[in-house]
Amino acid sequence: MKAIPREQVISHLATDNPWWRAPHEIPSMFSGLQPRPYLEMLLPLIEMATPQRAVVLMGPRRVGKTVLVHHGIQKLLTGGVAPNRICYTSVDHPLYNGLGIEGILASYTECTGIDYKREECYLFLDEIQYLRDWEAHLKSIVDRHPHCHCLVSGSAATALRLKSNASVAGRFTDFMLPPLTFYEYIFLLGLSEPVTGEGSSDGFLEKISVEDTEELNGYFLDYLNYGGYPEVALSRTIQADPSRFIKNDIIDKILLRDLPNLYGVQDIQELNYLFTTLAFNTAAEISPERLAQGSGVARDTLDRYIEYLEAAFLMRVVNRVDRSARRLKPANYFKVYLTNPSIHAALFSPLTDRHNMLENLVETAVLSQLFHSDEHFYYARWNKGEVNIVQLGPNQKAIAAVEVKFSDRYLKKPGELRPLIEFCREHRLTDALVTSKTQQGVKTVEGVTLRFFPASLYCYALGYAANQRRYAPAGTGAG
């Protein structure tokens, strides 16, 4: 049997790096797209010389990881980096089977004459989860070749493997690229700036307002239905049938190909049923025991499936605390949120402003702006009440509370927010944030200041804060 000629590998590598040839630019399919604001946060990590670390770019399918990488490459080229010092390839190509990172780098040296062991260069490897033992090989590159700046990108397996691998601590910097935030959605569509003012490190939310809440809510409803994936957000054709793109091209590839191939899932129908059930119940409290009984899936299998779905960035589990903000062990209840509210529209039907699931999807949208932060969020529930979002400090004490509503009722009747008020008083929180539909204002009840912001404005502000690396769940500061 003939071995794959080395010339084939070198030829493919040259094809993946068209900037090695004049006019030394990235392909037009990437340069013609508007860069996501996250590029400005990623680029310094790529260029950083000390400490020497590889960047691990993670995120769901089709949120623009490959596009972001190419925009980063264009920034390097524009900044004066020689084109032949930049190498990109996707390691899921069959030509790279058994080659490893060192083998790819050796082919790069043969192509360009750049000695990666001694000369400064930039290595970008896409779909890294398909390379066996990639963490160990990448760690070796970082340790032995300090002149080689490395970025790898991946999805499901990347997150799960890193979570359980302590040996690479200090060698890698994780960078999460989430689905589009509401702020990015407005930005990428080139819509007129709907929000006035600019956040600062103090009083972040208090410095912004919206001139036309109804207009912003119209954008927000479109975002809930179509906003998470750049290709959907930018295409009216895809929006006419989002199921074909989101379900067939993204979700089905994850459930039917990625997870079975990576984790050996045998009963794909069972996994698909579980995901559909959880997606329909986004933002609702789940009892894993009841879910296991109702679905016929064994509890340990159920736990494993949920872990896989989280690793694939399809959903996130939010754990429950009691009224005293103590985590419950074992976790007999938790909430599951889609990481991207537009998945719900693709699986079931687009929302209208009177849809009975609208408030659940608004809550899902709020949480989706927060999932890629470094903070940990919970929800509180006890016999007589619930608080949607609770942030705990390092000492595990509650430091912020948010109640997600999509109604203006509570600004007129703030006393009806009894569970939120009681929770704040018990934890000596002087204020809390409550989202509304259109109204913005402040009410004080029993010494607790309730700050009301339209949910669309709050999501916009959180997306803006994410790009500034600030988080202000309670509305009184930027964290």
User: For 448, phi and psi rounded to 5 degrees?
Assistant: -105, 125
End-to-end CA distance of the chain: 61
Burial profile 190-203: b = 16 or more Cβ within 10 angstroms, e = fewer: eeeebbeeebeeee
For residue 73, give every residue at least 6 positions away whose Cβ sits within 8 Å of its Cβ, in sequence order, or none.
19, 26, 86, 88, 122, 124
pLDDT of residue 68: 98
As a residue count, the chain comes to 479
Cα of 71 vs its chain's centroid, Å:
19
| Residue among 223, 446, 171 nearest 343 (CA) | 223
Q: Write the DSSP symbol of residue 260.
A: H
For the cut 70, the answer to whether the pLDDT of residue 239 exceeds it is yes
For the cut 50, the answer to whether the pLDDT of residue 471 exceeds it is no
Q: Quote the percentage of the chain above a pLDDT of 90.
A: 63
Contact 407, 436 (CB under 8 A): yes
Residues 265-279 have a mean pLDDT of: 92
C-alpha 285/C-alpha 337 separation (Å) is 10
C-alpha 364/C-alpha 404 separation (Å) is 10
- DSSP string for residues in 395-458: TS-EEEEEE----SHHHH-GGG-HHHHHHHHHTT-SEEEEEESS--EEEEETTEEEEEEEHHHH
Residue 174, classed as helix, strand or coil, is strand
Contact 204, 218 (CB under 8 A): no
For the cut 50, the answer to whether the pLDDT of residue 164 exceeds it is no
C-alpha 339/C-alpha 60 separation (Å) is 9
pLDDT of residue 2: 64
Burial profile 334-352: b = 16 or more Cβ within 10 angstroms, e = fewer: bbbbbbbbbbbbbbeebbe
Residues 73-102 have a mean pLDDT of: 93
Q: Write the DSSP symbol of residue 5.
A: P
C-alpha 406/C-alpha 434 separation (Å) is 9
Domain limits of the chain?
Answer: 6-176, 182-467
Tokens of 307: 């872990």
Residue written as token pair 């608004």 = 362
What are the E-state strand segments in 23-96? 54-58, 86-90
User: For 88, phi and psi rounded to 5 degrees?
Assistant: -125, 140
**pLDDT tens, position by position, 417-452:** 999 999 999 999 999 999 999 999 999 999 999 999
| Residue 106: HSE in the Cβ half-sphere, 13 Å Cα cutoff | 9
Of 3.40.50.970, 2.60.40.1120, 3.90.79.10, 3.40.50.300, which CATH number belongs to 6-176?
3.40.50.300
- DSSP string for residues in 326-373: PBPSS---EEEEESSTHHHHHHS----TT-TTHHHHHHHHHHHHHTTS
Contact 414, 405 (CB under 8 A): no
Contact 138, 101 (CB under 8 A): yes
| Environment class of 44 (CB within 10 Å of its CB; exposed 0-12, middle 13-18, buried 19+) | exposed
Residues 250-275 have a mean pLDDT of: 87
Residue 108: pLDDT band with limits 50, 70, 90: very high
C-alpha 175/C-alpha 151 separation (Å) is 10
**pLDDT tens, position by position, 311-332:** 889 999 999 999 999 987 777 8
| Residue among 327, 330, 359 nearest 344 (CA) | 359
Residue written as token pair 């700050």 = 451
**Average pLDDT in the chain:** 89
Residue 377: pLDDT band with limits 50, 70, 90: very high
Residue 474: pLDDT band with limits 50, 70, 90: very low
User: For 398, phi and psi rounded to 5 degrees?
Assistant: -65, 130
Strand-pair category, 315-321 with 377-382? parallel
**pLDDT tens, position by position, 42-59:** 999 999 877 789 999 999
| Residue among 90, 86, 77 nearest 25 (CA) | 77
pLDDT of residue 245: 86
User: For 270, phi and psi rounded to 5 degrees?
Assistant: -65, -45
Would you state the torsion angle of the CA atoms of residues 367, 373, 379, 380, taken in this order, to the nearest 10 degrees?
Answer: -150
Whole-number Cα distances in Å, 240 to 168, 236, 270, 350: 45, 6, 29, 10
C-alpha 248/C-alpha 347 separation (Å) is 10
**pLDDT tens, position by position, 183-233:** 999 998 888 676 766 544 445 566 666 778 899 999 999 999 999 999 998
